[in-house]
């Protein structure tokens, strides 16, 4: 992986050095984060501090030339965490060169690609690996080495991906909060492929807009970004979970329809390679009340259903038969205030996960973010059982530059 990143860095620097007149832009943010865990941990070896601070830095460097048709993007990320050794980490979110033509574009290097439309679960977002130490919602991603060719036509956009250099999923330290019932030993990770991280994965996606409808069809063939966690004994006799990365094939569909105040969404996929072939979906709506009571405030009402038909040989998921209800408040004020609140309810056992996310700009350069998660009525045996005492609030103050 180091050699691959070095090769990509060299390629990007060579491209930059060949530019006669590149326009550069420097931006990004630095911030401080405080996580508050009001309850004592479930396991004696876990960190018992109520307050868990950290620092984060994400600068962005962008260069462009050739009338904007050639662009270089560099986005490193660094976090220093006081309590979780695994959460203290760095990553290159992006380090790539993009070339644009009228009917195609090409991106080479480390990049981030998002597939999906749903709010409660990003079911089909498979190109990038999850940076799980950042947040339990699995929305943060690691940079993925890629060669991405997009072909643009009247028939839609065809995206082709060659993905060399597999990235392992990050997990919290065995002594950290939000780790689950058993610690995860990433040093012993196992692969179905004999080439392990060096295997080249492949993906493709077609997307097109038909009036009010956005549609996407995707396929991925390669090492699963979602590992099976297999119990294994250590020499000390302690039981840990070892990530096993299988080779899978996954075909996906995403649909979004805009009908007046209604936004209808669907993500669906079928996967082979982890037990029997199975299907999963997330589907629902967002209805927006614009200009609430004559004000500038918009209120969105969200509802989604989550289904997953995997068997016991596939990675465990808590989202096999669940309902999501939420609301999105947008005051449309000069401070760009936003609030998103929701609850996920397991229809089988009644488990609840409540989420709150809010943000507000302070002055020209500062943003305050607040996030809260509550795990309620989680029974033993539920995939979320290890998090039952890990309710938390997170406060972030970011300074953009």
Taking the CB of residue 382, how many other CB atoms lie within 10 A of it? 19
Give Cα 309 distance to the centre of its chain: 22
Residue carrying the six token digits 């530059």? 401
CA atoms within 13 A on the CB side of 276: 7
Q: Where are the domains of the chain?
A: 32-400
CA angle (390 as vertex; 385, 394 as ends), nearest 5: 140
pTM for this entry: 0.93
| 3-state secondary structure (DSSP) of residue 179 | coil
β-bridge mates for residue 53, sequence order: 34
Under 8 Å between Cβ of 305 and 323: yes
| Residue 166 neighbours by CB under 8 Å, 6+ apart | 129, 196, 197, 198, 199, 201, 222, 223, 245
Tokens for 328? 């999105």
Task: Compute the Cα dihedral for 19, 21, 25, 26 and give only its sign.
Answer: positive
pLDDT of residue 2: 46
Tokens for 24? 């550069």
What are the strands, taking DSSP E only, across 317-388? 321-330, 338-346, 352-362, 366-376
Helix (H) or strand (E) holding 100: strand 89-100
Task: Compute the Cα dihedral for 281, 111, 249, 208 and give only its sign.
Answer: positive
Integer-rounded Cα radius of gyration of the chain: 22
pLDDT of residue 24: 92
pLDDT of residue 19: 53
Q: What dotted CATH number matches 32-400? A: 2.40.160.100
Give backbone dihedrals phi and psi of 299, rounded to 5 degrees, phi first. -125, 120
pLDDT of residue 235: 86
**Which has the closest alpha carbon to 308: 282, 283, 275, 326?**
282
Q: Where are the alpha helices (DSSP H) in 168-278?
A: none
pLDDT along the chain (401 residues), means of 10: 54 54 90 98 93 98 97 98 97 98 98 98 99 96 99 98 98 96 96 97 99 99 98 92 98 99 99 98 99 96 99 97 99 97 98 98 98 97 95 98 94
Residue 200 DSSP class: P
Tell me the C-alpha distance between 296 and 286, whole Å: 18
């Amino acid at each position: 992986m180091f050699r691959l990143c070095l090769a990509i860095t060299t390629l990007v620097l060579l491209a930059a050095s060949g530019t006669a007149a590149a326009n550069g832009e420097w931006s990004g943010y630095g911030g401080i984060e405080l996580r508050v865990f009001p309850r004592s941990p479930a396991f004696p070896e876990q960190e018992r501090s109520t307050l868990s601070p950290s620092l984060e830095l994400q600068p962005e460097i962008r260069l462009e030339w050739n009338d904007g048709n050639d662009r270089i993007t560099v986005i490193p990320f660094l976090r220093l965490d006081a309590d979780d050794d695994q959460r203290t980490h760095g990553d290159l979110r992006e380090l790539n060169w993009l070339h644009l033509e009228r009917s195609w574009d090409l991106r080479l290097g480390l990049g981030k690609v998002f597939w999906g439309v749903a709010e409660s679960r990003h079911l089909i977002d498979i190109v990038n690996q999850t940076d799980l130490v950042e947040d339990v919602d699995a929305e943060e991603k690691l940079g993925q080495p890629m060669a991405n060719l997009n072909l643009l036509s009247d028939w839609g956009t065809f995206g082709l991906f060659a993905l060399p250099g597999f990235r392992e999923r990050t997990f919290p330290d065995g002594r950290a909060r939000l780790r689950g019932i058993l610690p995860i030993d990433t040093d012993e990770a196992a692969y179905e492929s004999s080439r392990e991280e060096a295997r080249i994965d492949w993906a493709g996606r077609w997307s097109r807009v038909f009036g009010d409808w956005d549609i996407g069809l995707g396929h991925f063939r390669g090492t699963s970004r979602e590992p099976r966690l297999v119990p294994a004994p250590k020499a000390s006799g302690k039981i840990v979970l070892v990530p096993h990365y299988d080779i899978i094939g996954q075909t996906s569909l995403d649909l979004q329809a805009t009908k007046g105040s209604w936004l209808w969404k669907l993500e669906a996929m079928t996967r082979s390679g982890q037990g029997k072939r199975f299907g999963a979906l997330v589907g629902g709506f967002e209805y927006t009340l614009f200009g609430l009571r004559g004000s500038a405030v918009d209120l969105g009402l969200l509802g989604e259903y989550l289904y997953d038909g995997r068997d016991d040989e596939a990675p465990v998921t808590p989202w096999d038969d669940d309902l999501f209800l939420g609301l999105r408040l947008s005051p449309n004020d000069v401070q760009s205030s936003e609030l998103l609140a929701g609850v996920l309810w397991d229809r089988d056992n009644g488990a609840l996960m409540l989420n709150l996310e809010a943000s507000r700009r302070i002055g020209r350069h500062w943003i305050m973010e607040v996030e809260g998660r509550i795990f309620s009525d989680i029974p033993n045996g539920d995939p979320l059982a290890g998090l039952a005492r890990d309710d938390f609030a997170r406060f972030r103050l970011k300074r953009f530059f």
